[in-house]
Amino acid sequence: MENPILITELNDFIFCPLSIYFHRMYSELDRIIFQDSSQINGTNAHKSIDTREYSDKKSILLGISVYSEEWNLSGKIDVFDTETGTLIERKNRITTIYDGYVFQLYGQYFALTEMGYSVNHLKFYSMSNNKTYYIPLPHEDKIMFAKFEKLVNDIRHFDFEEYIQTNKLKCEKCIYNDYCDKSLCEG
């Protein structure tokens, strides 16, 4: 059996498949060495979830591990309200809702539904500006669901050696570009 895809890797793969390799390689190092400020802020945004300080309401599930057998995805959710069936992904600051963000919610959605929970709503919460963004469920957005299926398939069949990065801007924004032999940045 293949190893499960981490739900966080759905977004990472879209940014650059090679970043997953570097995340794994540097995971044991102190994050302050290789993360930029936006990543550190994102990690800090999840602290109240990880320490279970966000809510003590019994209907609120915080930071639980989830697994989808159908998709072979694993990860953790941020917040799930079992009373309303609302799955919430918290981000430090949302300026654009990227496909990868949505696919992470889809992965969490599929895992929770397989675990027997009724998920009725998907939403993002942008902490810095207190904004909420509702996302259609996978069966309500056929185009995004097809993109999700393709992404999971692409990850399963990814060939590290054959990959060629074509987007220099992604390399410029990548915290690993100095270490990557496929980077389009000089230096």
Residue 184 falls within a domain, yes or no? Answer: no
Question: Does a structural domain hold residue 19?
Answer: yes
Q: What is the pLDDT of residues 102-122, one digit of tens each?
A: 999 999 999 999 999 999 999
- What pLDDT digit, counting tens, does each position of 68-85 carry? 999 999 999 999 999 999
**Among residues 116, 107, 113, which one has the least CA distance to residue 71?**
107
Total domain count, the chain: 1
Does residue 108 sit within a domain? yes
Q: What is the pTM of this model?
A: 0.82
Q: Where are the alpha helices (DSSP H) in 27-165?
A: 31-34, 37-45, 47-50, 99-114, 142-156
Q: What is the DSSP-derived secondary structure letter of residue 2?
A: P
Answer yes or no: is 96 within a domain. Answer: yes
Secondary-structure breakdown of the chain: helix, strand, coil percentages, each rounded to the nearest 5: 40, 20, 40
Beta-strand pair 73-76/65-68: antiparallel
Residue 80 lies in a domain: yes
The range of the structural domain enclosing residue 42 comes to 5-173
Q: Does residue 49 register a pLDDT over 50?
A: no
**Residue 86 in domain:** yes
Where does the pLDDT of residue 55 fall: very low under 50, low under 70, confident under 90, or very high at 90 and above? low
* Residue 31 DSSP label: H
Domain membership of residue 35 (yes or no) is yes
Domain-embedded: residue 181: no
Q: Which CATH number do you get for residue 148?
A: 3.90.320.10
Q: Are 135 and 124 in contact (CB under 8 A)?
A: yes
| Euclidean distance between CA atoms 60 and 74, whole angstroms | 20
